[in-house]
Amino acid sequence: MNAAPPTTVASTVASTPPARVLVVGPHPDDQEIGMGGTIARLAELGHEILLLDVTDGSPTPRGERVGRLAEAATALESLQPSAGKPRIRRALLDLPNRLVEHTIATRHALAGAIRAWQAGIIFTPQPDDAHPDHRAVTRSVEDARFDAKLTKVSMPTPPGFDGIGPPVYAKWLFYYDVSHLRRVAKPDFLMDITGFEHKKQAAVLAYRSQFGPWDDATDAGAFAAGDPKARTTSGPANDPGKLISADFPQRLLAYAMYWGGLIGTRGAEPFFTPEPLGLSTLAGLVG
């Protein structure tokens, strides 16, 4: 018996249109930080993607509503595919920033968006977080996924849509990694984003009000004592501390590089799911 080269055969996996994707973000910039590279890649692969901002992100230490929405629009442009634009869209649910709660009203507002977009795959921030809005949003999305499949019920139409369409049950609800908790993420799968790291970086840095660059001397005062965004890096005396913002762009790439290292690619982003992945083929594996 010899190790002959493998015979290439035609795949028997039926071709279906790419699933419609909904990416929920508590505030504009969460989607880009957590999975900007994946958004760009999925758009390139033909998925239609809706970025749903639950709040406008204001008030905030630096920036206000009009500015943040403009930043969000710029960020969106950075992620669009090279051809076939626009494949990514953005909508604002406009719940109150810092005050989102897990209620039936929040659930139904989100379920309306799921139905309006006819989402087949939903992404939402992973549930262990220090930010109350993140936890309330994800907890509500978990319920809204189910609410969206209910018949004999009405849901509000989200801003920018004509109606909510028929009931639908998204086959997958994945969590992405955007946490204000210093926890260590143990992902269920990693998405290769090689070649999309700089699109992600550009999209995140479009939120200049949030990530600077800032004038360290004058802007530090805008933040709470102990706020990670404003914290100075520790170091020996001859290495003066700086606002975290100073090396934030570099940290974004380091993050992608760290995760990529775990699957042997240049960059990656981690995802989580309590439901085991179902595969029909091993062809999509990277490692």
Binding piece for a second copy, criterion CB under 8 A, among 26-34, 70-78, 179-187, 211-219: 179-187
Residue 5 as a binder of a second copy (CB under 8 A): the answer is yes
Nearer to a second copy, 217 or 224 (CB): 224
Mark 31-62 as b/e (b = at least 16 C-beta within 10 Å): bbbbbbbbbbbbbbeebbbbbbbbbbbbebee
Structure tokens at 51: 């970025």
Residue 217 as a binder of a second copy (CB under 8 A): the answer is no
- Least spacing, CB of residue 130 vs a second copy, in Å: 5
Contact 136, 106 (CB under 8 A): yes
Binding piece for a second copy, criterion CB under 8 A, among 24-32, 45-53, 66-74, 206-214: 45-53
How far apart (Å, rounded) are the C-alpha atoms in residues 135 and 99?
11
- Least spacing, CB of residue 204 vs a second copy, in Å: 14
Q: Which residue from 154, 217, 218, 287 is in contact with a second copy, where contact means CB under 8 A?
A: 287
Binding piece for a second copy, criterion CB under 8 A, among 27-35, 71-79, 159-167, 211-219: 159-167
Residues 6+ apart with CB under 8 A from 130: 179, 180, 181
- Least spacing, CB of residue 9 vs a second copy, in Å: 3
- Least spacing, CB of residue 229 vs a second copy, in Å: 9
Residue 27 as a binder of a second copy (CB under 8 A): the answer is no
Q: Which residue from 73, 181, 213, 215 is in contact with a second copy, where contact means CB under 8 A?
A: 181
Residue with tokens 């930080």: 33
Which residues, numbered 267-286, are part of the site for a second copy (CB under 8 A)?
268, 270, 274-286
The site string for a second copy over 104-143 (x = CB under 8 A, - otherwise) reads x--x--------xxx-xx------x-xxx--x------xx
Cα-Cα-Cα-Cα dihedral of 225, 227, 230, 232, to 10°?
80
φ and ψ of 13, to 5 deg: -75, 120
Residue type, 254: A
- Least spacing, CB of residue 94 vs a second copy, in Å: 15
Structure tokens at 276: 């085991």
How far apart (Å, rounded) are the C-alpha atoms in residues 157 and 165?
9
How far apart (Å, rounded) are the C-alpha atoms in residues 169 and 22?
12
Q: How many residues sit close enough to a second copy to count as binding (CB under 8 A)? A: 129
How far apart (Å, rounded) are the C-alpha atoms in residues 12 and 119?
26
Which residues, numbered 56-95, are part of the site for a second copy (CB under 8 A)?
59-61, 84, 87, 89, 91
- Least spacing, CB of residue 275 vs a second copy, in Å: 4
Q: Which residue from 73, 77, 215, 250 is in contact with a second copy, where contact means CB under 8 A?
A: 250
Residues 6+ apart with CB under 8 A from 73: 90
- Least spacing, CB of residue 247 vs a second copy, in Å: 7
Residues 6+ apart with CB under 8 A from 2: none
Residue 2 as a binder of a second copy (CB under 8 A): the answer is yes
